[in-house]
A and B are shown apart, each in its own frame.
Chain A
Amino acid sequence: MPDIINANDLWVTIVTILFALSMIAERIGNMIKLAIPATRSKQLDDESEKKREMLVMIISILCGLLVSFIAGADLFALISKGVLNAADDFHPKAIAGKIFTGFFISLGSKFWHDMLDIVLQFGNLKKFKVKDKQTDLIKSAQESFNQQKPELEQRADIIKPELQQLQGFRGVMIKQSDAFQPEVSLVFSGEQPDKATKAKLTDHFAPAPVNFVTSALK
Chain B
Amino acid sequence: MELRAGLGVINSATPDKPSHAGTLGGPVYDQQGNLRLLTCFHCVFAGGFDWDSRRISTDHPFVSVNDNGDFKQAAKIIDVMRDPFVDIALLEPLPGHTVNREIGPWGIPKSSRAMTEDERNLTWLKKIGQKDPNITYARFDGFRPYFGDNYEGEQTMFYLRDLLQITSPTVTHFSVVGDSGSFVLDSDNHVVGMIVMGQDHTSFAIKAAPIERNFNIKFAL
- Chain A residues engaging chain B, CB cutoff 8 angstroms: 167-168, 170-171, 173-175, 185, 187, 189-191, 213, 215-218
Contact = CB atoms under 8 A, between A and B. Distances in A.
B150 A189 contact: no
Given A173-B150, A216-B197, A168 B155 contact: no
Nearest to A218: B180
Interface string B149-180: 11111111000000000000000000111111
B64 interface: no
Given A171-B150, A175-B155, A185-B150, A218 B203 contact: yes
A218 B153 contact: no
B199 interface: yes
Interface string B166-205: 0000000001111110000000000000011111000110
A78 to B, nearest CB: 49
Q: Which 7 residue pairs are nearest across A and B when measured between Cβ atoms?
A: A190-B177, A218-B180, A216-B149, A168-B19, A216-B197, A171-B152, A189-B177
B42 interface: yes
Interface of B: 19-20, 22, 40, 42, 147-156, 175-180, 195-199, 203-204
Contacts of B197: 216-218
Q: Among A168, A171, A175, A218, which residue has the most Cβ atoms of chain B within 10 A?
A: A218
A170 B177 CA distance: 12
Contacts of B40: 217-218
Given A171-B150, A171-B152, A173-B150, A216 B199 contact: yes
29 contacts: A170-B152, A171-B150, A171-B151, A171-B154, A173-B150, A173-B154, A173-B155, A174-B155, A175-B155, A175-B156, A189-B20, A190-B177, A213-B150, A215-B149, A215-B177, A216-B147, A216-B148, A216-B198, A216-B199, A217-B40, A217-B149, A217-B151, A217-B180, A217-B197, A218-B175, A218-B178, A218-B179, A218-B195, A218-B197
Contacts of A216: 147-149, 197-199, 204
A218 B197 CA distance: 5
Q: Among B19, B175, B198, B203, which residue has the most Cβ atoms of chain A within 10 A?
A: B19
Nearest to A187: B150
Nearest to B148: A216
Given A171-B152, A189-B177, A218 B196 contact: yes
Given A171-B153, A215-B149, A218-B196, A191 B19 contact: yes
